[in-house]
Structure 1
Amino acid sequence: MSDKKRSFSIANIRDIIPGLLVSVAVGFASILLSNFIPKVGAATISIFLGMLVGNLFLNQKVFHKGYKFSETDLLSYSIVLLGGTLSISTLMELGWRGILFIILQMAITIVAALYIGKKLGFGQNFRFMMASGNAVCGSSAIAATAPVIDADDKDKGIAITIVNVTGIFLMFILPLLSKFLYNHEVMNTSAMIGGTLQSVGQVVASGAMVSEEVKDLATIFKIVRVIFLVVVVFIFGHLKHKHNEEIIEEEIDDVKKGKVRIPWYVIGFFITCALFSLHIIPNGLSHVFKELSNKFEIIALAAIGLKVNIKDLIKQGKAVSLYGLFIGCAQVISVIILIFLLL
């Protein structure tokens, strides 16, 4: 390794450490607090505690890279480890109805986002990013869609913010709604949470507010949505450039070359799931995976809370806020109807 690469890696680690340490501290504080209020749970406490301390005195720039690492990387490791605790038979619980439910829910979300955005007067690029972010996997989907449709950074930043804001509100609303509608029945509640929420972290957090079983099954619903990322990005690229054959050919080449790819943690999840199903991962090791997965998850959720800037949420314009609100309402209405018809 060259000196330049080595120094870059050391600098990266130094940038990550402050925010990572804060996330770990908030996460373990949440675990301790959950012993006194077990009905709330460490996952829920970590989100709220993170929001509290983050907005009071721990939202400085020095912590941001560590928060991002904790939210994205640790949560990705948590999902891969989760695969080592689930068998293929558990995944098959979704069945063809579950897969159809996900496809229809994504399609409705995309159509609703494009239609509502057009009625509110937003440009095509912004509507495409809002559609992909809400339908697939939040910030990751927006980041994958933006270069394909030639979106500018300002639109990208606003889209990421409003999609995450919508997800944060729904993250707390859906457990309450599923309690009222389904009395927290595992399949229906998991479908509602995993089929609606914008990011993987929000799905994990919302599911954990209900139960361990709902959290795990909701994550599976979400992972299936993420698998369709490549398809959604390709479709939006095609719609954006449908009159330009050369650009369409470039998009096809990008998909073939793997420039638009399924996130690594989804592949890792299925690999560890297959290993557990084949009994290559023994039950004892699977238990260790489960414990580590839970700890990583709680730290990641603490980081999500720490990153929520309440002042930024308030600053969002009326039209953009209405856009997020209307999409969220459309998602909730469609998920209720689809659960009634299919599950």
Structure 2
Amino acid sequence: LKTGRQSLPIILSTISTSLIIAYLAYKSGLIKGHIATLVGVGSSICGSSAIAAAAPVIDADEDEIAQAISVIFFFNILAAILFPSLGRMIGFSTTDGHAFGIFAGSAVNDTSSVTACASTWDTMYNLGSQTLDKAVTVKLTRTLAIIPICLGLAFIRMRNANQEDNKKISIIQIFPFFIIYFILASLITTIALAKGVNIEFFKPFKYLSKFFIVMAMSAIGFNSDIVKLLKSEARPLALGGVCFIAITSITLILQKVLGIL
């Protein structure tokens, strides 16, 4: 809460912009609803993690999930490669990682790419971990938006199913229970650290979670038709590109307005 407060206006603005763009793409008939939702959520919040969280809530299939993830990671790679050079061109401070850290944490989609981008800036200008520390904290603040977004998607799906199919769907059936597990895990960690438990105790759980995420993403890949994926990639890729440019532009503009840049 303390560290994320400064970046909150930027985070709220970028999330809103990406979701609005995705919604307009869907309403205009350019992109199917599930793909538009997944690309919009993935672009605005935290890439593959947000897609993995939202997919079961909206009942997206494996091909839609794989397609959205491929779009997000394409722009993740671009950001990790181009943003350090862009930051130097724009005039970010090279003696303090604060401003570029907020930029990386707000504008880059996936946590792994945020880490790569911020670490590159630290390495380029010998800043230790200043940029990385700021970027990851901003990114984790942004990641918390998964909770209200998934709850909102669950409510919309339940309402639409009840209205259109005349079939009652309980919120229990589609409630994203990972939210409850997330809160419990956060409480356990907070209480344990307050009681003097060493932070190193939780490292094995972090490695285990990464292993399961990789396994889940691989399983989605094995269930996907790559030919079909490539044939239908153009419009989702265009949507991802528009979201990417919009989020980057808004982040830079708001950093300038707020006096961070």
1:221 paired residue number: 138
- Within 2, Cα distance between the matches of 1:214 and 1:265? 29
Q: 1:155 aligns with which of 64, 69, 73?
A: 64
Alignment of 1:198-277 (within 5 A): 198-211=109-122, 212-245=129-162, 246-247=168-169, 249-250=171-172, 254-255=175-176, 258-261=177-180, 263=182, 267=186, 271=190, 275=193
List runs of 5+ in structure 2 lacking aligned partners: 123-128, 163-167, 219-225
Residue 215 of structure 1 and its aligned partner are, at CA, apart by: 0.8
Give the CA RMSD over aligned residues: 3.5
Q: TM-score, normalised by structure 2?
A: 0.71
- Within 1, Cα distance between the matches of 2:181 and 2:78? 27
SS in structure 1 of the partner of residue 30 of structure 2? coil
> Could you say if the C-alpha distance between residues 268 and 279 of structure 1 is closer, same or farther in structure 2, counting changes exceeding 3 Å?
closer
> Could you say if the C-alpha distance between residues 208 and 152 of structure 1 is closer, same or farther in structure 2, counting changes exceeding 3 Å?
same
Residue 241 of structure 1 and its aligned partner are, at CA, apart by: 4.1
Residue 248 of structure 1 and its aligned partner are, at CA, apart by: 6.2
Residue 221 of structure 1 and its aligned partner are, at CA, apart by: 0.7
Residue 233 of structure 1 and its aligned partner are, at CA, apart by: 1.1
- Within 1, Cα distance between the matches of 2:102 and 2:65? 28
- Within 2, Cα distance between the matches of 1:112 and 1:216? 30
- Within 2, Cα distance between the matches of 1:203 and 1:268? 25
SS in structure 1 of the partner of residue 159 of structure 2? coil
- Within 2, Cα distance between the matches of 1:197 and 1:146? 21
Contact 2:3 2:138 in 1 (8 A): no
Contact 2:13 2:250 in 1 (8 A): no
Q: 2:2 aligns with which of 79, 84, 92?
A: 92
Q: 1:183 aligns with which of 68, 87, 93?
A: 93
**2:2 maps to amino acid:** M
List runs of 5+ in structure 1 lacking aligned partners: 1-90
Residue 330 of structure 1 and its aligned partner are, at CA, apart by: 0.9
Contact 1:149 1:237 in 2 (8 A): yes
Contact 1:137 1:226 in 2 (8 A): yes
- CA offsets 1:56-78 (integer angstroms, 9 cap, x no match): xxxxxxxxxxxxxxxxxxxxxxx
1:197 paired residue number: 108
1:319 counterpart = 2:230: no
- Within 2, Cα distance between the matches of 1:205 and 1:264? 27
- Within 1, Cα distance between the matches of 2:115 and 2:86? 17
- Within 2, Cα distance between the matches of 1:159 and 1:200? 16
> Could you say if the C-alpha distance between residues 190 and 265 of structure 1 is closer, same or farther in structure 2, counting changes exceeding 3 Å?
farther
- Within 1, Cα distance between the matches of 2:21 and 2:243? 7
> Could you say if the C-alpha distance between residues 269 and 176 of structure 1 is closer, same or farther in structure 2, counting changes exceeding 3 Å?
farther
Residue 196 of structure 1 and its aligned partner are, at CA, apart by: 1.8
1:105 counterpart = 2:14: yes
Residue 190 of structure 1 and its aligned partner are, at CA, apart by: 1.1
> Could you say if the C-alpha distance between residues 262 and 177 of structure 1 is closer, same or farther in structure 2, counting changes exceeding 3 Å?
farther
1:127 paired residue number: 36
Contact 2:36 2:236 in 1 (8 A): no
> Could you say if the C-alpha distance between residues 187 and 264 of structure 1 is closer, same or farther in structure 2, counting changes exceeding 3 Å?
same
1:40 paired residue number: none
SS in structure 1 of the partner of residue 175 of structure 2? helix
> Could you say if the C-alpha distance between residues 235 and 208 of structure 1 is closer, same or farther in structure 2, counting changes exceeding 3 Å?
same
**2:175 maps to amino acid:** D
- Within 2, Cα distance between the matches of 1:213 and 1:146? 34
